[in-house]
Amino acid sequence: MKKLTIILVLAFIIGCKKEGNSNSGKVIADVNKKTTLKKQEKKDHQIRQIKKAEIAPNVDGNMDDPIWNETKWYPMDQNWIGEFPDFKDFLGRYKMTWTPEALYILVEIKDDILYDQHKDPLKLWWDDDCVEIFIDADNSGGEHQYNNNAFAYHIALDGNVVDLDSQKKPVLYNNHVTTKRITDGDVTVWEFELIVYDDTYEEGKTNDPVVLSKDQKLGFAIAYNDNDSSKERENFMGSVFVPGQDKNQGWINADIFGTIVLVE
């Protein structure tokens, strides 16, 4: 009887060990199993069709190119930073067109004081009056603060173009955006030619621009930093509604960009 009891106890211990080893193997397998998380796709909003130009506009700050008579104005009426300005202080609108080589943007700003306090284009550039163009070549959305998933070009009054690079440093991108500005009284007309680059762009290397084509979608927004002689900008007026309390998201998150569709 004593021997039988010992045998039963041993059998029970061996069975528990086998079960424990089996579960341990399962746990290890679960830990080592890789899980692929799918990136959340951008939800298209403010979808606008942009007409192709048969003849590219001259970037001269004038509105006399034929295509500008065939395209509509869109407002820059979303208050991203500061108090909503009086219409006597600020009023902004823009038009767009495209060719396979570039996007073209015409901007008209009513602003009675143009302020450029920082002569160094890489110092506090956002606190001077400037137009800011946001572009996402594949309309993928997502974070782009210190990478080239999208670009946030700040175009200063003197024509310098600034954005942050992957090293978190400001860089001049003057070869990406050509601009001409004409001011008459309190109205300024800016004309831009923007060469589009995608997320393969690398600073300091030779990069091929995106060839634009019919039905292509791009993420896009545009804004104006307005400063009437303060230490910091007083208003930041954008073209796209941004939900939530923090509306200054364009330089970080391309999900807030609208969507433009290139048509003929």
The answer to whether residue 29 scores a pLDDT higher than 60 is: no
Torsion angle of C-alpha atoms 52, 63, 130, 193, degrees rounded to 10: 40
Instruction: Say if 20 falls within a structural domain.
Output: no
Instruction: Say if 55 falls within a structural domain.
Output: yes
- Residue pLDDT, tens place only, 230-264: 888 999 999 999 999 999 999 999 999 999 999 99
Q: Residue 244 burial (CB < 10 Å; 0-12/13-18/19+)? A: exposed
Instruction: Say if 188 falls within a structural domain.
Output: yes
Side chain identity, residue 112: D
CATH number at residue 235: 2.60.40.1190
Instruction: Say if 152 falls within a structural domain.
Output: yes
- Residue pLDDT, tens place only, 112-169: 999 998 889 999 999 999 999 999 999 999 999 999 999 999 999 999 999 999 999 9
Instruction: Say if 210 falls within a structural domain.
Output: yes
Distance (Å, whole) CA 241 – CA 80: 9
How many whole angstroms from its chain centre is CA 102?
Answer: 17
Domain limits for position 87: 47-263
- Are the C-beta atoms of residues 192 and 199 closer than 8 Å to each other? no
Instruction: Say if 30 falls within a structural domain.
Output: no
pLDDT at residue 39, as a whole number: 54
pLDDT at residue 119, as a whole number: 86
Domain count, the chain: 1
Mean pLDDT of the chain: 87
Instruction: Say if 76 falls within a structural domain.
Output: yes
Mean pLDDT check: name the lowest of 10-19, 50-59, 79-88, 113-122.
Answer: 10-19
Mean pLDDT check: name the lowest of 12-21, 93-102, 243-252.
Answer: 12-21
What average pLDDT does range 15-36 have in this prediction? 38
Instruction: Say if 89 falls within a structural domain.
Output: yes
